[in-house]
Structure 1
Amino acid sequence: MIDVVLVGAGPTGLFLACELERLGIAPLVVEALPAPPGLSKALGLGGRSLDLLDARGMLDMFTSEIPNAPNRAALFHFGGVPIDAGRLPGAPPRFVNLMQAEIERRLEAYATTRVEIRRGITVRGVTATDEAVVVECERETITARFVVGCDGARSIVRKSAAIEFVGTGATQLLRLGDVKLA
């Protein structure tokens, strides 16, 4: 039986897969998309994410090619509000400007040396029994000891567990474009 099924191969699912493997737990990551999307929903890593990566010895894979990364202060915005990362508490860097697609690529490269990632697997529902969790997919059924929903805002795992979203919806419409200049 599989120890843990992680539904979603975004940054959260991939990082958690690395964490579980580090603890000696063999996770399986399933992702609906057949390949990484290559498009970004986010623009970088900041604060606590950098602290966690540093504590796990993974920070260098995100900062190694940034000139003077430990001393670099970055200006960025959050919801249109400018933020000077050099003034944020904690050891530098406090922000790494890296597109989500690249963050995912690096995490997946690290994770695939240690965990199994299956792409093109659409989860239809999750049910719990006394002995296991059953993950119903389009073309297969996966039985595991645990399942973790890392599948985003419209999480089928959360819905299957009848956990309602109690937060608030977006109050702004923001657009993001990935552009390559020749």
Structure 2
Amino acid sequence: MIYQKTELGQRAMKDRHAVEITRAQRSALILLDGQRSTASVLDATLSLGVSREDIDRLAELGLIATMPGSASADMPRGDAQLTDFASSTLAARHGPMDLPVAPNNEEERVRRYKKAYPLATQITATLGLRGFKLNLAVESAQGFDGLIELLPKIRAAVGDERVQPLRDALEGR
């Protein structure tokens, strides 16, 4: 789908306090210009944490409206019900991702986290400004489970080949 700003959306851009929206929603609003598809806006703002729900919220608030004749042609291939854009984009581009299984032993979880954390920060640090929020998310990840949650987003940002050493560390290899 292709969205464009409504008159209210234009005013919200000029007067930041006209409508209460999140930083992620504002980033999406800036890019929803009637030219870019929803998928391309979500792809461009993935590292900022913009989700499909943010765009839906902008539409609910009346800040954006669909362009005439723009169908859902840009919906990610695969399960159209996926709401996490990173997951749906991954499924379309790379196939589904089986996440590493957490070990039952807390000592092993800590060992894997200590091995994986430096790899995750190193990988996301190479993304520059595009990966700044993702890098911050890695730095604030809460242990093994936090890194597991971020693995699909890191994969979306860098691809299968570059994420493999991180995946191996989380799997205990």
* TM-score, normalized by the shorter chain, greater than 0.5: no
TM-score by length of 2: 0.24
TM-score by length of 1: 0.23
1 or 2, which has the higher helix percentage? 2
More relative contact order in 1 or in 2 (CA 8 Å, sep 6+)? 1
1 or 2, which has the higher strand percentage? 1
